[in-house]
Structure 1
Amino acid sequence: MPTATEQKIIDAAVRLFASQGYDATSVQEIVKAAEVTKGALYHYFRSKDDLLFEIYRLLITAQSADLDRIIALGLPAADTVREIMRSLVVSTAERVDETSVFFRELHRLGQERMADFRAERRRYHETFLAVVEKGQADGEFSSAVPADTVVLVAVGVVNQLPTWFRPDGQKSPARLADEIADFVLAGLRT
């Protein structure tokens, strides 16, 4: 969990990266927006790249913890898929700037960090995939569409949220989460 100062720096970086882009944002602008010293920024982050990675790390850590919590409930497959989708949509919509910044700047990660990103995303996908496969094997879900395609489409919809979701729009994250979960489950029904 970030300290209060660290969170101020992260929040300022997210706002600036989202509004003007990573390249166009200087460390000095982040320091000014966060109302901290340059020394404070460098106390927590060795570089702007480290700050970018921390934005991602906080998001994926929260989403993975939510996934683990949902799986631990031991719910039927349909309820588990609903909760996974709801959690993923809400966390993405509520942190739409972080998600947007990360996906737009993903190419900046070095090899090691990219490997970490891929490993965590793979774990998330494989866990979700296992839920859909179990639902199909148990007859709770239709097998008309392969489970891997279901997961790719479901997660793909969520990954596109930063391109069109607006926090001040007509739908709250919770309402949108329910609608997307209903859509995914409608496609899985037998």
Structure 2
Amino acid sequence: IVEAAGVTKGALYHYFGSKDDLLHEVYARVLRVQQERLDAFAGADEPIEKRLRGAAADVVVTTIENLDDAMIFFRSMHHLSPEKNKQVRAERRRYHERFRALVEEGQESGVFSKATPADLVVDYHFGSVHHLSTWYRPDGPMTPQQVADHLADLLLRALRP
């Protein structure tokens, strides 16, 4: 990390008190961007299907754009202290709850099917997102937006009444 950042260990620890803090910031930086963008989609004056599709595609694109950070975090998250782990889980839960609220809004309004519980729908989508680092390659056949469009379309097809 210090080599990639072009700083000394001392300089790095000037900004981060511990490896734990650094690992948390790697994750939190991406999640902050994703949360802001999700809030914008959720609060937009658009039909629920368009808002959910936008949010579902956006989390894929922003994850791919930050794939190195995502890979570092998901491969190293077991190293987090219990306190930081709890904090990360709370931040992720807040994001997932906001996303789930979009699914529930569509289900309650009759736009989406209630056949599959909203929690399972959210877990399904984010399972795909969290595994992008295991198979997506920037030099592969699909752009981030193409992957995002496919996954968002799969999600919406699964929710059709």
Do the two structures share a fold, i.e. TM-score over 0.5?
Answer: yes
Secondary structure in structure 2 of the residue aligned to 1:186: helix
Number of positions where the alignment pairs a residue of Structure 1 with one of Structure 2: 161
The answer to whether the 8 Å contact 2:60/2:129 transfers is yes
- Matched with 2:42 is 71
Measured against aligned partners, the alpha-carbon deviations of 1:57-78 in whole angstroms (never above 9, x if no partner) come to: 1111111111111112132221
Measured against aligned partners, the alpha-carbon deviations of 1:155-188 in whole angstroms (never above 9, x if no partner) come to: 1111110111111111110111111111111111
Question: Which consecutive residues of structure 2, in runs of 5 or more, have no partner in the other structure?
Answer: none
Measured against aligned partners, the alpha-carbon deviations of 1:54-108 in whole angstroms (never above 9, x if no partner) come to: 1111111111111111112132221111111111000111111111110111111
Q: 2:9 aligns with which of 29, 38, 42?
A: 38
Q: 1:133 aligns with which of 86, 99, 104?
A: 104
Measured against aligned partners, the alpha-carbon deviations of 1:20-39 in whole angstroms (never above 9, x if no partner) come to: xxxxxxxxxx2x33322333
The answer to whether the 8 Å contact 2:41/2:52 transfers is no
State the TM-score, normalized to the length of structure 1: 0.80
TM superposition shift of 1:134: 1.3
Amino acid at match of 2:95: Y
- Matched with 1:174 is 145
Amino acid at match of 2:115: A
Amino acid at match of 2:29: L
Matches within 5 A, 1:70-149: 70-149=41-120
TM superposition shift of 1:124: 1.1
TM superposition shift of 1:121: 1.0
- Matched with 2:155 is 184
Amino acid at match of 1:125: H
Amino acid at match of 2:57: R
Amino acid at match of 1:63: Q
Query: Highest relative contact order (Cα 8 Å, sep 6+), 1 or 2?
Result: 2
Give identity over the alignment, percent: 48
Give the distance between the partners of 1:157 and 1:33, measured in 2 at CA. 29
Question: Which consecutive residues of structure 1, in runs of 5 or more, have no partner in the other structure?
Answer: 1-12, 14-29
The answer to whether the 8 Å contact 2:64/2:132 transfers is yes
Which of the two has higher C-alpha Rg? 1
The question of 1:52 aligning with 2:17 is answered no
Give the distance between the partners of 1:86 and 1:130, measured in 2 at CA. 16
Secondary structure in structure 1 of the residue aligned to 2:11: helix
The answer to whether the 8 Å contact 1:94/1:167 transfers is no
Measured against aligned partners, the alpha-carbon deviations of 1:110-168 in whole angstroms (never above 9, x if no partner) come to: 12211111111111111111111111111101111111111110111111101111111
